Amino acid sequence: MTLDSTAQQNSMSQIHLTSRFRIKYTILTLAFFLPLIWSFAKVRNVYPVTSWNVMTRGGEFGKGYTYFVLRGESVSGDLIDLPAVKLTDAMRSRTWGLVAATANNDSLKLRSPHPKNVALLAAGGNVESLPDGVLMKELLKSWGEIFNERHPPSSPDHLRALQIDCYRWPGGQYSNYSEFVQSWRQEL
């Protein structure tokens, strides 16, 4: 084998290697960008198109919505609107999802509920016979304790009671947002 033939083989293998890399990266590029291009062309609610059509409609206009408002009563008698997100240090939807699940007694409907919930069900019969939000006072008590740990008893913001109000928007019109449903209160 001569020096020319070795150089020629190295050159050919380099061309073959470059060609293989181009094919692999072309396939990778197509695999990455084709779904994105398809979403631009066909689908209106796949990222990033959804960020463009956020304000095109008002959600499910005909569907109602239930929401909760958390308030505390301070030692001085003032009502304070409390952001539950700051109490729980959780994301907004997670916090209010917990409240909605507590109001619906969802923790009592699990296949294997906590032993305290089993005892509550045994004492009350079944889930349907228990009042809505039967465990809400425990949730309010724990949130009140969290809030009061941050404010000394001498503070005017120290709470003596915590209350959560449930409201329902029936949907269908952009009014009547504050249809009161129920309230839970816990003295601290």
Q: What is the DSSP string of 3-39?
A: HHHHHHHHHHHHHHHHHHHHHHHHHHHHHHHHHHHHH
At residue 141, the pLDDT reads 92
At residue 161, the pLDDT reads 92
Task: Identify the residue whose tokens are 């109000």.
Answer: 165
Task: Kindly report the pTM of this predicted structure.
Answer: 0.62
At residue 35, the pLDDT reads 81
Which parts of the chain register pLDDT below 70?
1-11, 40-61, 91-93
- 149, 146, 138, 148: which is closest to 184 by C-alpha? 138
79-81, strands of its sheet edge to edge: 79-81, 65-74, 159-169, 179-187
At residue 152, the pLDDT reads 86
At residue 27, the pLDDT reads 92
What is d(CA 176, CA 170) in angstroms, rounded to the nearest whole number? 8
